[in-house]
Amino acid sequence: MADTQTFQDVDAAKWERIKSQIKAKAGIEISTDSGIASEKGVKLAWGYNAADSTLSVTLVSRAFYDPSAATIDTDIAQWIASA
């Protein structure tokens, strides 16, 4: 659906904050360093690489009633930046 977003300089502490942000904002619980999960019509895929301090997040799908993919991608980027 949307392009993968890759974030640099994500250490373990920031990764924990990001997981909390995504749970609070989207209701998606992330308990592993890579995977796919969905909640309320939004499906995300993610991959955290601790060795490289990178996080990749992809919006896999969204419900027809959700905002555009671009809006959701922007929200995700803001959540990660503020974590």
pLDDT the model gives residue 32: 97
Which CATH code fits 5-82?
Answer: 3.30.310
Q: Which amino acid is at 45?
A: A
User: Would you say residue 61 has pLDDT above 70?
Assistant: yes
pLDDT digits (tens, 9 = 90+) for 33-52: 999 999 988 999 999 999 99
pTM (two decimals): 0.85
pLDDT the model gives residue 73: 84
User: Would you say residue 2 has pLDDT above 90?
Assistant: no
% residues pLDDT > 70 (the chain) = 98
